[in-house]
């Protein structure tokens, strides 16, 4: 299944089918360090979309496992069922347009065993029709998370992959080099990781670049089909968007959910700085 759906395609699906045949549209607007996305959702969202809180429902409490560790499966499952998610019902994840939060939901649902999840390319910012201010109350879904459907890295396997495969760092290049660190207590990167800022996957129109462009970009970094590839970022959110971009390019990749925020919490783990992988 194509991991993306265009705004025009989704608009056509919502207009051309009865409401009980619509995909479950989940709005997970979120920004790092920004206010909760609920206010933006209330101001206008894709018709029928249900709001999902990334910090409360798509992540566990911050701590030694990182700033956005994997959520408790009971909490996550309850949030999905509340939003009308069922095992046989397609899901569309959307956010304000950046794509990070929507990709986090896309990745989590796939990790939890849902086979039919897509991301609205360009998010609410690209929506071609009128936005809604009403909050729908969908019928309870039946989705039960069954984790393990996609590969996950921990600190040890991420370190190993940096030596034997390709480990991509999706943060800004200056954070990778250790020149600045606005969020976490330690600057630098996992030794052996390759800098691949997630912003490089977005075109001038705010949507993901075409598959060919993405494949060319990742190939230059060593990430090609058949190679073992992993991705991390600061806390596992923007890295999910890089995993999404890799999927569009035809490359399977594992996510390190704890990412740099977990890695640097243990002072025994090595830290590299500079432009070279180290």
Label residue 79 by pLDDT band (50, 70, 90): very high
How high is the pLDDT of residue 19?
74
Under CATH, which number does the domain 155-263 receive? 3.40.250.10
Mean confidence (pLDDT) of the chain: 96
In DSSP terms, 94 is beta-bridged to 27
pTM for the model: 0.97
Q: What is the pLDDT of residues 85-133, one digit of tens each?
A: 999 999 999 999 989 999 999 999 999 999 999 999 999 999 999 999 9
Cα Rg, the chain, nearest whole Å: 18
In DSSP terms, 26 is beta-bridged to 50, 93
The arithmetic mean of pLDDT across residues 52-62, rounded, is: 97
CB-hemisphere CA count at 13 Å for 163? 5
In DSSP terms, 195 is beta-bridged to 169
In DSSP terms, 92 is beta-bridged to 25, 118
Q: Is 94 a catalytic residue?
A: no
The arithmetic mean of pLDDT across residues 50-78, rounded, is: 97
How high is the pLDDT of residue 20?
75
Euclidean distance between the first and final Cα of the chain, in Å?
37
Architecture of the domain defined by 4-126: 3-Layer(aba) Sandwich (3.40)
Q: What is the pLDDT of residues 142-197, one digit of tens each?
A: 999 999 999 999 999 999 999 999 999 999 999 999 999 999 999 999 999 999 99
Q: Where in the chain is the domain with CATH 3.40.250.10?
A: 4-126, 155-263
Q: What are the residues whose beta carbons fall under 8 Å from the beta carbon of 173, sequence distance 6 or more?
A: 195, 197, 275
Which residue is associated with the tokens 């990709």? 103
How high is the pLDDT of residue 1?
79
Helix (H, G, I), strand (E, B), or coil: what is residue 76?
A: helix
Catalytic pick among 112, 196, 233, 239: 233
The arithmetic mean of pLDDT across residues 212-221, rounded, is: 98
């Amino acid at each position: 299944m194509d991991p993306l759906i265009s705004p025009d395609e989704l608009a056509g699906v919502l207009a051309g089918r009865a409401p009980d045949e619509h995909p479950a549209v989940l709005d997970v607007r979120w920004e790092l360090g920004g206010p909760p996305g609920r206010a933006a959702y209330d101001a206008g969202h894709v018709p029928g979309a249900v709001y999902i809180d990334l910090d409360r429902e798509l992540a566990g409490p911050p701590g030694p496992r990182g700033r956005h560790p994997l959520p408790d499966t009971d909490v996550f499952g309850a949030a999905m069922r509340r939003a009308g998610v069922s095992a046989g019902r397609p899901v569309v994840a959307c956010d304000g347009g950046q794509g990070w939060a929507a990709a986090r939901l896309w990745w989590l649902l796939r990790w939890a065993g849902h086979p039919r999840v897509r991301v609205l390319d360009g998010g609410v910012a690209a929506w071609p029709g009128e936005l809604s201010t009403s909050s729908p109350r969908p019928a309870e879904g039946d989705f039960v998370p069954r984790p393990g459907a996609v590969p996950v890295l921990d600190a040890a396997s991420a370190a190993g992959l940096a030596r034997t495969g390709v480990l991509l760092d999706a943060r800004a290049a200056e954070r990778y080099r250790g020149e600045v660190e606005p969020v976490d207590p330690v600057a630098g990167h996992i030794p052996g990781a390759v800098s691949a800022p997630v912003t490089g996957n977005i075109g001038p129109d705010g949507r993901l670049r075409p598959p060919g462009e993405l494949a060319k970009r990742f190939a230059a970094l060593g990430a090609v089909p058949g190679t073992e590839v992993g991705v991390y970022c600061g806390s596992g959110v923007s890295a999910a968007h890089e995993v999404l971009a890799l999927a569009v390019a035809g490359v399977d990749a594992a996510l390190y959910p704890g990412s740099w925020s977990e890695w640097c919490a243990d002072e025994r783990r090595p830290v590299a700085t500079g432009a070279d992988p180290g």
